[in-house]
Chain A
Amino acid sequence: MPALVDKIRALFRGKGQDKAIISVHSDRIVVVLSILSVFLLGLPLWWTTTRVYRADLPSTQIAQYTHSDVLEIPFNFYVDSPRISPETVQGLVDAKLAKSRLPYRSDKLQVAFTAQVQHGPAPDLPGHYTVETREEGGVAIVGTGRSMQIPVTTTTDANEAAAKWIARIVGKEEREVRAAEGRALKYSPEYAVTFTLINEDPTGGLSVDWKIEQALAVYLQPFIDTVSPLTKLSVSSQVLHHAGPLPVTPQRAANHTYLTTDALPHFINSAGWNLASTDPVSPMLNFILFVPKRDSQPLLILDDHRTQSNTNAFLIPQWGGIAVANFPESAHGHVMISQADLQAYMGIFIAQLRQLLGVRSDTPLPSVKDRVIVQRATATGISGWEFDAQARRWLANNRQTAVTTLSSLITLVESMQNMVVMDNIKDQVDASLAALAKISRARIAVDHARACQDAIVAATKAEGAFFDPSMVSMLYFPDQHKYAIYLPFFLPVAIPLFHALKRVAKDVVAKRKTKTE
């Protein structure tokens, strides 16, 4: 017992007392280093288990397509007149186009429309045009196919005249493509086109139905078939038997009611009219044939000058078109709008549909009295020139979309290191790049519509990758969480470890000193 008491006493004894020290850990350095190496060996394991999967995206390939490279789209003109030399015209056209080309701006499309002039008959493909000369009269005639006749009198220089017309056509379209306008919808491979017959109020008045099936088959189907290589229009129709109160009340005049232009944007009751699409992807285009209630008929649409618009219809940009159908007072009860009656409205709707898709009616040139006659494609609703212009515009737009989307994707993926990048993203990016690579000047020259399809694939795949649901669900650990989870363990462990390391270092230094002494 007294020995123990002595021991305890010795424990509390002050400094300067001599202690007999037995170090059991003369090889402490081995212990410390082995524990440290366990942690170091664990590091790769920790890294692999917390790492997120990131497929290797071809960023260098994407970087090749910069925003500033200009896409060249060549038109092919075929002249077959002994008075015209293709080489001379080519030179003249190139000079004219180079002179008229505006400087490029970074926020606009980077495209250059050029012309290739050659001899011989034109193949029946988009982008190939026949240019003929006319001796009589001073009028240029643009055909509905891919042809035009230019006036060349015996006195004028035929080469100069041909070059002038070609440069006008090409230059005009390039300017239009580069300055985008806002009425048309963004390109989509498919649009859901819905025709709705709206009866404002059937009580005590008309109850209408329509022969839409036949009317669409006759008047719209040719248009749908013609544009089908570029975009699919899926059509449906419905009848709304009771529209209920309108958001804007038509104003009353002596024997009619009217709507002024400022009321038109509020005309649509989108919540009440059951116009919502059930299609998860395709944008919707609405065309409404509106039958006003009996006592507001006839309902007229007035334009800015408060004169009656001759179609009695109006267009809502990016949304659709509305036509108002007034009936004679003799009409009563159940009224079936026949196919013949629908013809006029279908004409309006096709014109509106063209505008919404971005088809310009002054393609390739505006009609000028006694100077230019542009023949209208009444059978199909879209002429060869218009179709080609559309293919070129969508080609340029889609290629641009693909390039910008891919580069945004790379920027996004590189800036978010915790983002999961699945293999299917890489597959889509590769597919998009493959399609982009196909779009070359030579291939465009052969067929504009084919090149446009490639661009569509490129854009669709790029957007598919960018908007893939797996890109949204990020498996990531915020830094705060990491600290909260690691700290309670690693901090208490690290302190004695580093303390021991320090001592080991001290020991080593001390040992060296003793050795040298």
Chain B
Amino acid sequence: MHRPLSTSNATQHHYHKFPRQIGEIAHRYNVEELHLSFTQGSWRSEQWGPPTISGHGAGAEVRAKITEDADEDWRGLTNALSGVFCASLNFIDATNTNSPQLSFKGMRHGYLPKENVCTENLTPWVKQLPCQGMAGLGALLNPYRLYNMHFHSMSVDLAPIAVDGKEVLGYKQTLAVVVNPKTFGLEDEWTLAQLVDRDVKAACAAAERSTIRVLQGGGSDRVVLEPKPESEDVVDGYRFGVYDAKKQGGKLENIKFSVDTGAAARQRAAQPAIVAHRYVTGHGGSSGGVESTIVNNSDKVVHVSYMDTLPWYLRLYMHTLTVESESLVDGTASKLKPSSMHYKPAVDRGRPALLELEMDLPAQSRVTLRYGFDKGFLKYSEHPPDANRGFNIGPAIVSYTPIDTDLACAVGAMLEGTGARKCTARVYTELFLASLPTPDFSMPYNVITFTCTILALFFGRMFNLLTRDFVVLKETKDAGQSKKDE
């Protein structure tokens, strides 16, 4: 959904389809560009094939371009978004914000890997739609279903677009889910209404366009649609069957999906061009390492930028950085030299470490990056309540411009109705848990009493030595005798 921001001047702001709350926030905090996403689960490309949305990592992510890049505006923005979306975005502060140079130029980037996404975030997200949850897309979102799915990612985007030659802010809301109908007791044949467990109501009256599109071809051939789509839309080589919800209204709930579970279904899904994973290595409480693998499945060299943000308590050592490339064809390994690198070391309790690398991935190769870190000691009060669980560390992000067609880019272009164009694809790795040495939390008082007791004993002993009279007992028979004599 793209909606140009309506007229506004210095003191008045008017919103017709653009959501007022987002517009007010963007205006108050001088936001030129914004991306906010809430994601649960990670996209398993080995099973599901290429993602339909440009990657999102688990947790909550905010990135924004702010005029003059003011700290105060960034803080205000995250606090305001936190209020609107009922999320803990207010915990995005200097210690988990950075300004990447290569991956997201000119933007601030904040990540909350621990954020759990649930109904309380969905409700405000739905409210930003012009018909809210009453009609159209919003009416299909059943939280009981959504939060039982394998993957769930919703996002809000603000970006400058040109409307009638004028540059305005465009607004976009995206929701991506991966669902296995068997979870809900649906077998190989089901309708749209059964899948979402809601009545499919009429399209939102304010919508200019309201369509349901089904990706055809590729691995989706095994899905048979009944009735057949009214028309077909081809973007970037991908074919989409189109149903017009604006015209058809409630009739769409009877679209029947029949899944062919034959041999064709069992064949593996097509692999996306770039797949990335990240693992934590090492053991013990003092040091560890990170190992990231980026696999280039395509037959061409792909230029990628890799970005990893680690909190200050994982002290990175750049001399340990190695980049190694291994051919998927014959297994020959060789060193790979990144074409450029940007590293911003962490400041204790100040800012996170930021590592950015740009490199050319050879065709059909697996590139492995390794770097080591020491684990810092945290203050007693800096540990979370569940300290022994460890700390969630946000994902590394691999960004690249797809050389061939890319599904996420095609879907994006299709939704905006702009046709195929260049876009940036992003792959997010998994999170990892860093377990830091945890203190015994009942310690401070024990230490106080223990030290005090030792000091008191020491003091008592010394004091007595200095002040007491010491008596040398002298047993003398004469003395006893003389007493008797008296």
Contacts and interface: CB of A to CB of B under 8 A. Distances in A.
Interface string A484-515: 11001101110011001001000000000000
B160 to A, nearest CB: 21
User: Could you say which of B16, B204, B470 has the most chain A C-beta atoms within 10 Å of its C-beta?
Assistant: B16
B83 interface: yes
Nearest to B20: A238
B377 interface: no
Interface in A12-60: 13, 17-25, 28, 31-32, 35
Interface string B431-463: 000000000000001001100110111011001
B451 to A, nearest CB: 8
Contacts of A240: 132
A236 interface: yes
Interface string B400-425: 00000000000000000000000000
Interface string B468-486: 1111111100011001000
Given A242-B132, A484-B445, A500 B205 contact: no
Contact of A244 (B132, B445, B469, B473): B132
Nearest to A210: B16
A488 B452 contact: yes
B456 A488 contact: yes
Which of A21, A236, A241, A279 has most chain B Cβ within 10 Å? A241
Interface string A445-467: 00000000000000000000000
A278 B16 contact: no
Contacts of B474: 10, 19-20
Given A202-B205, A272-B132, A21 B469 contact: yes
A239 interface: yes
A66 interface: no
B469 A209 contact: no
B456 A489 contact: yes
Given A22-B470, A28-B467, A276-B21, A488 B449 contact: yes
Contact of A203 (B202, B456, B459): B202
B141 interface: no
Contacts, number: 156
Contacts of A488: 448-449, 452-453, 456
A236 B448 contact: no
Contacts of A484: 445, 448
A272 B129 CA distance: 12
B12 A236 contact: yes
Contacts of A21: 469, 471
A245 to B, nearest CB: 9
A279 B467 contact: no
B15 A239 contact: yes
B163 interface: no
B175 interface: no
A492 B460 CA distance: 8
B229 interface: no
A200 B374 CA distance: 60
A279 B452 contact: no
B413 to A, nearest CB: 27
- Taking each of B11, B25, B472, which has the highest tally of chain A beta carbons within 10 Å of its own beta carbon? B11
A489 B455 contact: yes
Contact of B479 (A18, A201, A238): A18
A292 to B, nearest CB: 15
Q: Which among A22, A238, A496 has the highest number of chain B CB atoms within 10 Å?
A: A238
B134 interface: yes
Nearest to B203: A203
Contact of A496 (B15, B131, B201, B460): B460
A369 interface: no
B11 A235 contact: yes
A6 interface: yes
B134 A278 contact: no
A22 B472 CA distance: 7
What class of interface size applies to chain A in its complex with B? 35 or more
Contacts of B445: 484
B277 interface: no
A274 interface: yes
B205, B463, B474: most-surrounded residue (chain A CB, <10 A): B205
Given A207-B206, A241-B204, A492-B460, A236 B470 contact: no
B118 to A, nearest CB: 17
A141 interface: no
Contacts of A493: 456, 459-460
**Residue among A278, A493, A503 with the most chain B CB within 10 A?**
A278
B206 A202 contact: yes
Contacts of B71: none
Interface in B109-168: 127, 130-135
Contacts of B329: none
A278 B84 contact: yes
A99 interface: no
B482 to A, nearest CB: 9
Nearest to B463: A496
A284 to B, nearest CB: 11
Contacts of B135: 202-203, 242
Given A213-B12, A484-B445, A19 B473 contact: yes
A342 to B, nearest CB: 13
B209 interface: no
Output the residue of B17, B469, B479, B480 with the most chain A CB within 10 A.
Answer: B469
B348 interface: no
B254 interface: no
B452 to A, nearest CB: 4
Contacts of B127: 274
A84 to B, nearest CB: 45
B477 to A, nearest CB: 9
A305 interface: no
Nearest to A200: B134
A199 B259 CA distance: 41
Contacts of B469: 21-25
B467 A32 contact: yes
Interface in B179-205: 201-202, 204-205
A42 to B, nearest CB: 13
B448 A18 contact: no
Contacts of B452: 488-489, 492
Given A234-B12, A488-B456, 12 more contacts: A19-B471, A202-B131, A203-B205, A235-B11, A236-B24, A237-B15, A238-B14, A238-B20, A239-B130, A242-B206, A278-B24, A493-B456
25 contacts: A10-B473, A18-B483, A19-B471, A19-B473, A21-B471, A22-B469, A32-B467, A202-B131, A202-B205, A203-B202, A203-B205, A212-B14, A213-B12, A216-B12, A234-B12, A235-B11, A235-B13, A239-B16, A239-B17, A244-B132, A274-B20, A279-B24, A491-B456, A493-B459, A500-B463
| Nearest 5 Cβ contacts at the A-B interface | A202-B205, A492-B456, A488-B452, A489-B452, A10-B475
Interface of B: 7, 11-17, 19-21, 23-25, 28, 80, 83-84, 127, 130-135, 201-202, 204-206, 445, 448-449, 452-453, 455-457, 459-460, 463-464, 466-475, 479-480, 483
